[in-house]
Amino acid sequence: MRRPNVQFSLRWMLAVIAFMSVLGSHVFTSRKLKTAEDTIRRMASDVGLLVVSGQNRLNVVTVPNFDGMTWRWRMYVPSGASYRLHIASEQIPTSGFAASARRSELGPGEYIVTAALRGDDQGGWTLKIAQRGSMLGLRVSEEHTGWLKKSPVHFSTKQAGSDGTEVAPDGAPFLLLRVNATQGLPGGGSVPNPPGVLTDGIMLWVDEQPITAP
């Protein structure tokens, strides 16, 4: 009777063991790398670190602050493109975009953009936008300041870059900030308005304009 090829079986077993060891090491390393990447991403978000992932696109991350009614972003605006910042202070839709009330250009480079809603001594409110040493202001009409005079103020907020760097889509408006007044409840508290409803609030967004040849 022919004896089995013990040498071949041993080589096959050693090859399987080696393959499983390499596979296990790869899985372990991949998991460690994924954990490290998640940690770095979370730490970057906590300190407002901008991680530019597209050199030819607008990149935005929230810069944390503890000042109420103030929002800040670190932006990377690519050269060779034309971006405009739009602001609105009334008739803010809970989805989609408002009618632009004022706008300004965003020059290329990396810098901080700050939006602040501030009251004055006469009971009025102004939305102020600061970027690269320039200031843009938009006064909130008296009939749209009711939500700001309530105590406590009830509103919902959506802010770009709050979970890390976001990249603006190609050729589409990019929402920076949406603040909508919410519906007050008889027993206290409030609930968000349904999609498509126009509310008091403020809104900032960016769009890209085609560059025309001279």
Question: What is the per-residue pLDDT across 24-72, written as a single tens digit (0 to 9) for each?
Answer: 776 667 666 665 455 455 555 455 688 888 789 999 999 998 888 999 9
Average pLDDT of every residue of the chain: 83
The residue with tokens 């989805």 is: 95
Chain mean position to CA 177: 8
Would you place residue 2 in the very low, low, confident or very high pLDDT band (cuts 50, 70, 90)?
low
Q: How far apart are CA 142 and CA 90, in angstroms?
A: 10
> Which residue in 151, 144, 155, 152 sits closest to 192, CA to CA?
155
What mean pLDDT is predicted for residues 174-184? Answer: 92
Q: For residue 24, give both structure tokens.
A: 């296990």
- pLDDT value for 6: 47
pLDDT (tens digit per residue) in 8-18: 577 777 777 77
Q: What is the mean predicted confidence (pLDDT) over 92-97?
A: 94
pLDDT at 25: 74
